[in-house]
Amino acid sequence: MHTGVCYFPEHWPRERWADDIERMAEAGIEYVRMAEFAWNRMEPEPGEYDFEWLEAAVDLIGEHDMQAVLCTPTATPPKWLLDEYPEIRQEEPDGTPLEFGSRRHYCFNSAVYWRESRRIIENLADHFAGHEHVAGWQTDNEYGCHETVRCYCDDCASAFRTWLREYYDSIDDLNEAWGNAFWSQEYRSFSEVDLPGPTAANHHPSRLLDYNRFASDSVVEYNRLHVDLLREADDDWFVTHNFMGDFDPLDAFDVSEDLDFAAWDSYPTLHTQDAPDTPAPEEMGDDLQRAGDPDVTGMNHALYRGASDGPFWVMENQAGDIRAFPYSAEPDDGMIRLWTHQAAAHGADVVSYFRWRRCQFGQEQYWGALNNYDGAPDRGLEEATDTAAEFESLPDLDAPSGDVAILVDYDSLWATHAEAHSPDFDYWAHLRAYYRALRRRGVTVDLVSTSADLEAYAALVAPSLHLVDDDLADRLTAYVQDGGELLLTIRSAMKDEHDHLRDELAPGPLAEALGAHVAQHESLSPGVETQVSYDGESYAYQTWAEWLEPDDGTVIGRLESGPGTEEPAIVRNAVGDGHVEYVGVWPEADLADAISVGLLERADVPVSERLPGRVRLTERDGYTWVTNFGTDAVTVDAGSGTLVLGDETVSGRDLAVVDAPAHELEIDLET
Amino acid sequence: MHTGVCYFPEHWPRERWADDIERMAEAGIEYVRMAEFAWNRMEPEPGEYDFEWLEAAVDLIGEHDMQAVLCTPTATPPKWLLDEYPEIRQEEPDGTPLEFGSRRHYCFNSAVYWRESRRIIENLADHFAGHEHVAGWQTDNEYGCHETVRCYCDDCASAFRTWLREYYDSIDDLNEAWGNAFWSQEYRSFSEVDLPGPTAANHHPSRLLDYNRFASDSVVEYNRLHVDLLREADDDWFVTHNFMGDFDPLDAFDVSEDLDFAAWDSYPTLHTQDAPDTPAPEEMGDDLQRAGDPDVTGMNHALYRGASDGPFWVMENQAGDIRAFPYSAEPDDGMIRLWTHQAAAHGADVVSYFRWRRCQFGQEQYWGALNNYDGAPDRGLEEATDTAAEFESLPDLDAPSGDVAILVDYDSLWATHAEAHSPDFDYWAHLRAYYRALRRRGVTVDLVSTSADLEAYAALVAPSLHLVDDDLADRLTAYVQDGGELLLTIRSAMKDEHDHLRDELAPGPLAEALGAHVAQHESLSPGVETQVSYDGESYAYQTWAEWLEPDDGTVIGRLESGPGTEEPAIVRNAVGDGHVEYVGVWPEADLADAISVGLLERADVPVSERLPGRVRLTERDGYTWVTNFGTDAVTVDAGSGTLVLGDETVSGRDLAVVDAPAHELEIDLET
Amino acid sequence: MHTGVCYFPEHWPRERWADDIERMAEAGIEYVRMAEFAWNRMEPEPGEYDFEWLEAAVDLIGEHDMQAVLCTPTATPPKWLLDEYPEIRQEEPDGTPLEFGSRRHYCFNSAVYWRESRRIIENLADHFAGHEHVAGWQTDNEYGCHETVRCYCDDCASAFRTWLREYYDSIDDLNEAWGNAFWSQEYRSFSEVDLPGPTAANHHPSRLLDYNRFASDSVVEYNRLHVDLLREADDDWFVTHNFMGDFDPLDAFDVSEDLDFAAWDSYPTLHTQDAPDTPAPEEMGDDLQRAGDPDVTGMNHALYRGASDGPFWVMENQAGDIRAFPYSAEPDDGMIRLWTHQAAAHGADVVSYFRWRRCQFGQEQYWGALNNYDGAPDRGLEEATDTAAEFESLPDLDAPSGDVAILVDYDSLWATHAEAHSPDFDYWAHLRAYYRALRRRGVTVDLVSTSADLEAYAALVAPSLHLVDDDLADRLTAYVQDGGELLLTIRSAMKDEHDHLRDELAPGPLAEALGAHVAQHESLSPGVETQVSYDGESYAYQTWAEWLEPDDGTVIGRLESGPGTEEPAIVRNAVGDGHVEYVGVWPEADLADAISVGLLERADVPVSERLPGRVRLTERDGYTWVTNFGTDAVTVDAGSGTLVLGDETVSGRDLAVVDAPAHELEIDLET
Ligand SMILES: [Zn+2]
Ligand SMILES: [Zn+2]
Ligand SMILES: [Zn+2]
């Protein structure tokens, strides 16, 4: 486990570089990411390349035995390129093109931009091929940031038609698959199909789904261009990309298939303010604003570990206060270290801070760094230095791998968000309701795609796994037959892969295994009574309720409010050696805990006591991190293990590491 | 009184039709509406018509002695038509055209679309002319839905100029009528007048008013094309249109003049969440969300009874949970039946459920139906079947007709909404303040246009009848002279027909009859004190206050808060055999009740006790429905009548019918 | 001190004018503003001028010994001009042009519009040159109203490039100044620079800053055209412009340099609802809604007195209820008089009511006036008449001039608003926190630009003086050296004139004088603890905190909450004969008071007791107005002075005038 940093030599006079880089080495940093937005310094005039400055910076880095991570600079095509080829600009749904002056102003389907990207990448990669201090590459930067995955230009319209022609056998096949008999939406040929532009009412959800798949695939293809060109130049480099947390429009699993591993950019105070399942900033108070929510961040670590199928990187790790929205509070003392350890515990091999020094100009002046804008150490540098030393003291560890996985399915995300059916429904938030509950029981939770090897897990949670095709249904059924424990939740398996309701009620192809089906669903506003029983206890739920009708399945819980009172809401069925359980409500925390414990027990996964507040146990390769995101101290009983880092008492914002599995530890609030 | 259902044979395999239609007949259904969006099935290729499938469905319906209601399919022109004639698309104010992919993407003033509409309607009508099982037609579908009445295309610009040339004698006449001396807005010719596009500040209200009149008239003209073509083909058919509740941009009276009767689409849980005078969903709780507000729905029944000048239809009646915004709670048991009876009580001759079966694809998958998406009965089917049987048990009844009418004036609506002068002013909500009060006294209330026969009513309420021309003023004055009781409210008769303030203070041409005028008006935020006296008692009001100055009129109430304290706010005057009363505040419920009771007493209209909560009495042709939208049971003392349906105790969500007029009944909360 | 009124003869039949004007004279009015929007009456057909009607009105005014103030009518180019030259229209960022039908639909950089403006102004000015009853001119009307300073048309793009070529030596100079190394934003030539149109992410703040400067300068240039043409025609006229309160996009100091004095349009109930530092309308209750906030209005008086460098005018003074947003409550009795006196006390030589009579048509029908729309006196006329008489009874007075100035810097405003870093940061509101505190101590506060003569003041407050170039830093340092008392606040002197962070930490070039620098800053949401000490007491603050690091400076206050607890937040340093104090938090009222009192004491400025609630003392040329914007009566101890107006007891909404300086008065709540 190592640390890195993001550095922009092009922002500073060359005479400062040596000093900066020397101080990075002193801080224990081993990787330096550079050049992600520097196209106009690499090619100041069309066709005139200049990599000398960058090589000089790489060489300086090498002098201190650090490694450079370079970037393809395509997120910011220079002005001369846009002026020469204005057709590369992304377009809004109403046809307004995105102008020069910020970033990500290009279309993923522009043939011209593919050609220009190829040109700069080839030249850049050729220049650094074989350089002993270039460890690898980041492609582009944060694909899709600022809502730029989905473009509505003519190039995209053509590409969408091509995509559809490949996906569907014929236009009749598409009409049938989408259900275009509805509202006279049938097409006579693929050439009649447009992008989903401005319409009077909402769009056809099946058309939107395919458009969203196409848009995500467009990024996959464009990223593959980068990967292929980089590998052609030098096969020893790694290639990664820095993703953006739980981000809707891009399928991180698909992109990652072409990468050596995935990376992501982690800003806990920003993501915690953004998350739909945290209180509004005005209500979250100091505590969350200054530390972030451990599960908002943790679930992203798990997601990109899943996308990596092993260790991942945090390419940008929050290094101080940042340009968070809406508010930018200073993190509490200790948080830079705690966030960095948390990432490592979840399987990050490198945690790279953003950035070395606050920038004196441009759009990110308010973004904190390890050093202040005068070049002197900022609040985080000492913590970063300490953390690097602590990483040194620990052995190299394999990535964590859990007994429990949550299935993440971007198709289901897009389908449910296109028809959220409630302002309070959010796919990630619903998923996190289960993630949170499992994590408060100390369990390692993998987030994996539906194409993952399901048999690797003792228990599977499929939250709002909305679209289930026959193949997936068969695999899930087989999984349970073979002894797996499957948990389905609201909206799971309601529709087929084209976002159609099936001829059978939900969970459609899994209804037989469940021994029950969903008779009704409803979305409920705050202020409406929402109570449900589970295993004889009464619990609160939120947002969504379904009324089930059992055949063979056993009713475990019933609605206790509304016209559905007494209707079954939670049903379980034994199938082969395993069980399917369906939870027809969005559980509040206590119910999510009860359901999770039941699941773990059936799956023979060891369960810890419910952890206090925001304390988390995170196990990696036999070592367990005790991270305390709260403010009250806890004590650690290390069981058979020993404390390899920290003390028996772990204060708020502090941590400890024990060389024992999580379930052996006992954590108590200090009395 | 009969029931119907909406059916989309084009969504289902033909082999299912017979079974579906047989089960409709079993449910007591007598009318089946079909084909409203099926243009591309009627004309799959330009000029190649196919009505065979539809005729087959009609024939199946006929086999069960039911009648079909067919639709002109113009709400969804197919893709090939838009591709051939992109100029038919509606345009947003900034010129963005509405694209294909939902519905209502056409302009009402497109000459090309008129020609194409004529072509499909003629062919369709000719095909079914004389068919014994086609009872009538619905033109298009929900004109103006998704804000599509007002278009900003070049065709509309020309049509607007033509409209203005017909309306005004000369451009000088228009300049004078609008008041274009203001801000240098005078035109030298009609050809200089544009549509109201994007401007720096707000638009001239008189120009907006005429634009809104023109836009509504454009729909009237387009609808008349449908009506004329249908009647040319077969004079025995009825022709109706399915309107959309209390909908702003379209004058329902004007459109209805060309129809045999009006129909509307009733979704109580949706409209109740939308209504500005109901609590926000988060605050309305279970009760309203699961039953709807009886007066939100009831006032729409009255509106379309008024537009029909007799019995009306509910063309789409909520059949279960729907795709309501923002939340979609399941209705309580009994509500499908209760809503259907409520419609009948208000004068609906046919109540037609939307829809037979949940659709498996497209934009309305979340819209409930009598049958679930697997084809099996959904929650509402049994209630619908019971209701049909109950309708059978009742005699055919004439439409209700009240002694009290509320004047509805779309010109006043458009004028007040263009200059609402408060975020809390809403024309329909203000009107409903009086409707609610009268209905809680068991009174039948008609909603009629200003051109109605006023003499038919003992009392008239003219809420915010903002624009009053000399002719209307004369008619209202004559009405009072002849013994009528006229109630004017805030903003009534403030302006002339061009949205001009007059040389005389409000109520302008009615000020003499009132014996008072309005000296000041103000809009008041929540949190400001709003208290007023009326007949010696003190009451709360909201949103708006006026300070009156009496001449001959008698002061009935005075402001009791703010700088207007002691200023007259409610004035009454005896004129001939009747009275004019002016209420210069927006009354809260208790004041609205007191005012209403006073009005009824002066008009010699029988008054019941104030009904408990959401219980309503609705009288139709000598029969009175007791509908209990609340949750507490009430007892019915039937007076001289007998219970022909239901029991003496009417539980929440239940009803009874008595063969006696409403004022004879006595309703009490069950003790 | 005199009163005036705005009159629109073109709105009324000519036969009414004589009566209207006679009644103005009877009300003591001395100035009548006319013709600001009357281009189409001055030139009804292209090239055909008609000034006869206007001259007739001026002559009638002259007959009553009043003076006319005429306006260049360019805010509303007529339809024929737009039809002939559509290129003069302003454009939105996405290229949508502003259409005819309201006002301000022209671009300040249109060469065609300059030519047309020159033509109408020359003709108009020539016509009235030498007219004895035309006192002066108002240029255009409310430049920038409805967000029209910033245009995105091609003419503006060219003009922006020209502006940049003049400002910067070379494109390299611009690239360096803006910091275009960030995100590959470097340009190779000025011709590559565009206007800031739609982009994926936010714009480069330095580019925005220059665009905002350019846009403001464009108004300055256009206004100078007016001024030059008017003065060419007749050098005796005054020329002014009616500005719009604390308005962001236009530098009032720059425009005013070309004017004889500045005027502004004062609508207290509107501005008070708008102000970010007053409660939301729903929470402000009757009191503020019916009287307005004295400091919201007062600070604008001070601003335009500063822009005038002497007496100013209120060109439009609220005369009753108006079309305020969102709510329009009637002002309390007495407020028209109180607002008029308040303006005079602050240095207005003429207070001109808007308008004589409510307009019967057009966009401002709901805008109150001295007379109602029937022509009879409205609520305010009597108060206006009384006030004119009271002005008569007072001597002519020089403008107030204070010992304390607040520095207003539009560059800093634009920079902080482009990167507000908190939804709660507002430049004017922060500035007003200090203005309020000083005013509650009876102090006369000037608002001046950074180019003002600083030495004229004993104390200077520089709230969020964000951009400080070396020259200003030198002048401020010299000011303190010479005995001045300088107060810097949050964000002050953080950046250079190009919106760059410097190599030195804030307050950059003033850090040495302060003997401290800013180590950290953070923005804090409501709900986060915000406590700070000052001089041993504990106080609340809001929104923003900075952590200081002292060198020579003395720590006066420390943070008492959050991770910065114990960090210095307020530091003071003695420099030469004066002091610099830096306040690193946004103070709540009590802290602002304590800081202000300290500042005044160090500066030897007399300090009154803290005034009750919304009572204010305003001193002008030896006379002091006691204005009571509250509702509770106060008593006035006049010290050495005598009451020249009003009584010893000043009720709510009332006033008194004493011929003594403010600090001699003692004000107490009546017991
Ligand atoms: Zn594109
Ligand atoms: Zn149109
Ligand atoms: Zn322009």
Q: List the domain range (segments joined by +) for residue C8.
A: 2-150+236-393
Tell me, yes or no, whether A438 and A317 share the same domain.
no
Residue A617 tokens read as: 């146990």
> Mean pLDDT across chain A, nearest whole number?
97
Report residue C670's pLDDT band, with 50, 70 and 90 as the boundaries: very high
| C19 inside 8 A of chain B by CB | no
- CA of A388 to nearest chain C CA: how many angstroms apart? 23
d(CA A23, nearest CA chain C) in Å:
18
Q: What is the ipTM of this complex?
A: 0.97
Same domain assignment for residues C541 and C495: yes
- Whether residue B315 lies inside any domain: the answer is yes
**How many angstroms away from the CA of A489 is the closest CA of chain B?**
18
CA max distance for chain A? 76
Q: B362, A207: Cβ pair inside 8 Å?
A: no
Residue B658, Ramachandran bin (φ over 0: left; ψ between -120 and 50: alpha; else beta): beta
For Cα atoms C131, C132, C134, give the angle at the middle one, nearest 5 degrees: 70
Position C204 in a domain: no
Of the three residues C368, C393, C418, the one that is the final residue of a domain is: C393
User: What is the predicted pLDDT for the residue at C246?
Assistant: 83
Strand B485-489 and strand B459-462: the pairing is parallel
Query: What pLDDT score was predicted for residue B581?
Result: 98
Contact C323 B421 (CB under 8 A): yes
pLDDT level of residue B671 (50, 70, 90 thresholds): confident
Angle value at C-alpha C475, between C473 and C478, nearest 5 degrees: 110
* Residue of B94, B172, B184 to mutate, testing the C interface (most C Cβ within 10 Å of its Cβ): B184
pLDDT band at B246 (very low <50, low <70, confident <90, very high): confident
Instruction: Identify which of B225, B233, B235, B305 has the alpha carbon closest to the alpha carbon of residue B264.
Output: B305
Q: For residue C285, what pLDDT is reported?
A: 86
Same domain for A367 and A386, yes or no, is yes
Q: Does residue C223 lie in a domain region? A: no
Count of C-beta atoms within a 10 Å radius of residue C538: 12
Query: Is residue A483 included in any domain, yes or no?
Result: yes
- Looking at the complex, report in whole angstroms how far the Cα of residue C653 sits from the nearest Cα belonging to chain A: 36
Q: Which residue type is seen at C648?
A: E
Active site residues of A: 142, 316
Summarised one tens digit per residue, pLDDT across range B292-329 is 999 999 999 999 999 999 999 999 999 999 998 899 99
- Determine, for residues C500 and A375 on separate chains, whether the beta-carbon distance falls below 8 Å: no
Longest dimension (CA), chain B: 76
Mutation target among B91, B152, B185, B190 for the C interface, most CBs of C within 10 A: B185
Q: Do B101 and A194 touch (CB under 8 A)?
A: yes
- Tens of pLDDT along A596-653? 999 999 999 999 999 999 999 999 999 999 999 999 999 999 989 999 999 999 999 9
Instruction: Please tell me whether residues B67 and B13 are part of one structural domain.
Output: yes
End-to-end CA distance of chain A: 34
Distance of CA A94 from the midpoint of ligand 1 (Å): 12
Which residues in chain B are contacts of C37 at CB distance < 8 A?
Answer: 182-184
Question: Which residues have C-beta within 8 Å of that of residue B53, sequence separation ≥ 6?
Answer: B9, B10, B14, B41
Please write the tens of the pLDDT for every residue from A229-240: 999 999 999 999
Mark whether C301 and C376 lie in a shared domain.
yes
Residue ending a domain, among A568, A602, A636, is A602
Confidence of residue A285 (pLDDT cuts 50, 70, 90): confident
For residues A106 and A134, state if they share a domain.
yes
Establish if C230 belongs to a structural domain: no
How many Å lie between the alpha carbon of B163 and the closest alpha carbon of chain C? 18
Helix orientation angle between B154-167 and B205-233, rounded to the nearest 10 degrees:
100
Q: Which of C142, C512, C581, C664 is catalytic?
A: C142
- B664 CB within 8 Å of a chain C CB: no
Q: What is the pLDDT of residues A394-410, one digit of tens each?
A: 999 999 999 999 999 99
Domains in chain A: how many in total? 3
| Interchain contact, B329 vs A524, CB within 8 Å | yes
- Residue-wise pLDDT for A195-225, tens only, equals 999 999 999 999 999 999 999 999 999 999 9
Q: Which residue has the tokens 């063979």?
A: A552
Domain presence at residue C645: yes
CB < 8 Å from B in window 497-526 of A: 498-505, 519-526
My answer on whether C353 and C435 are in the same domain is no
Same domain, B93 and B25: yes
Strand residues in B535-622 grouped as ranges (E) = 537-550, 554-558, 568-575, 578-583, 585-587, 615-620
Phi, psi of A595 (to 5 degrees): -65, -45
Active-site residues of B, by number, are: 142, 316
> What pLDDT score was predicted for residue C568?
98
Q: Specify the pairing of strand B67-71 against strand B134-138.
A: parallel
Mean per-residue pLDDT, C562-570: 98
Same domain, A72 and A42: yes
Backbone torsions φ then ψ of A579, nearest 5 degrees: -135, 150
Report CB contact under 8 Å: A183, B329.
Answer: no
| Token representation of residue B542 | 């909201």
| Cα angle A292-A297-A298, degrees, rounded to a multiple of 5 | 125
Q: What is the pLDDT of residues B517-544, one digit of tens each?
A: 999 999 999 999 999 999 999 999 999 9
Nearest CB to C286: which of B198, B419, B528? B528
| DSSP one-letter string for C589-604 | HHHHHHHHHHHHHHTT
| Contacts for C152 with CB less than 8 Å, ≥ 6 apart | C91, C92, C93, C94, C95, C195, C197
CA Rg value for chain A: 25
Residue C671 pLDDT > 90: no
d(C-alpha A562, C-alpha A545), whole Å: 10
Q: What is the pLDDT of residues A109-128, one digit of tens each?
A: 999 999 999 999 999 999 99
Q: Decide if A37 and C520 are in contact by the 8 Å CB cutoff.
A: no
C-beta of residue A371 within 8 angstroms of C-beta of residue A7: no
Per-residue pLDDT, B589: 98
What CATH code is carried by the domain that includes residue A55?
3.20.20.80
Please check the confidence at residue A671 and state whether its pLDDT lies above 90: no
pLDDT at B285 over 90: no
Q: Which residues from chain C sit within 8 angstroms of residue B202, using beta carbons?
A: 102, 363
Cα gap A473→A482, rounded to integer Å = 14
Chain C residues whose CB is inside 8 A of the B183 CB are 37, 76, 102-103, 362-363
Q: What is the pLDDT of residue A158?
A: 98
Final residue of a domain: which of B602, B628, B648? B602
User: What is residue A141's three-state secondary structure?
Assistant: coil
Q: Which of the following is catalytic: C30, C316, C581, C619? A: C316
- DSSP codes joined into one string, C45-64: BTTB---HHHHHHHHHHHHT
A610: number of Cβ within 10 Å: 15
Q: A479 with A460: CB under 8 angstroms?
A: yes
The rounded distance, in Å, linking the Cα atoms of C127 and C134 is 11
CB within 8 Å: B183 and C358: no
The Cα–Cα gap between C234 and C225 comes to: 15
CB pairs under 8 A between A and C: 181
Q: Determine what percent of chain C is predicted with pLDDT higher than 90.
A: 98
Q: How far is the CA of C617 from the centre of ligand 1 (A)?
A: 63
Q: Report the C-alpha gap between A619 and A613 in whole angstroms.
A: 18
Q: Which of C151, C203, C162 is nearest to C179 (CA)?
A: C203
- Do both A455 and A584 map to the same domain? yes
Residue C193 lies in a domain: no
Q: What is the mean pLDDT of residues C350-360?
A: 98
Regarding whether A413 and A378 lie in a shared domain, the answer is: no
Answer whether C204 sits within 8 Å of A101, measured CB to CB: yes
Phi, psi torsion values for B544, nearest 5 degrees: -150, 140
Q: Is A100 left (phi over 0), alpha (psi -120 to 50) or beta?
A: beta
d(CA A109, CA C19): 72
C526 three-state secondary structure: coil
Q: Within this chain, do residues B106 and B40 fall inside the same structural domain, yes or no?
A: yes
Q: Which ligand is nearest to the CA of B218?
A: 2
Nearest chain A Cα distance for residue B104, angstroms: 7
Could you tell me the CATH number of the domain that includes residue A656?
2.60.40.1180
| Per-residue pLDDT band at B338 (split at 50, 70, 90) | very high
Q: What is the pLDDT of residues A526-572, one digit of tens each?
A: 999 999 999 999 999 999 999 999 999 999 999 999 999 999 999 99
Ligand closest to Cα of A92 equals: 1
Contact B103 A201 (CB under 8 A): yes
The residue type of C586 is W
Mean predicted confidence (pLDDT) in A462-466: 98
Residue that is written with structure tokens 């010299």 in the block: C478
| Helix, coil or strand: residue A214 | helix
Look at residues A335, A343, A256 and name the one whose alpha carbon lies nearest to residue A298.
Answer: A343
pLDDT exceeds 90 at position A351: yes
Buried b (16+ CB within 10 A) or exposed e, A219-244: bbbbbebbbebbbebbeebebbbbbb
Contact B368, B9 (CB under 8 A): no
- For residue C80, which residues of chain B lie inside 8 Å, CB to CB? 188, 192
- Strands B312-318 and B263-266 come out as parallel
Among this protein's residues, is C522 annotated catalytic? no
Structural domain includes residue B212: no
Sheet holding A649-650, edge to edge: A649-650, A634-637, A666-669
Q: Which residue in chain B has the smallest CA separation from C273?
A: B525
pLDDT digits (tens, 9 = 90+) for C93-141: 999 999 999 999 999 999 999 999 999 999 999 999 999 999 999 999 9
Q: Parallel, antiparallel, or unpaired: how do β-strands B404-408 and B445-449 relate?
A: parallel
Q: Of A286-290, C57-61, C529-533, which range is least confident?
A: A286-290
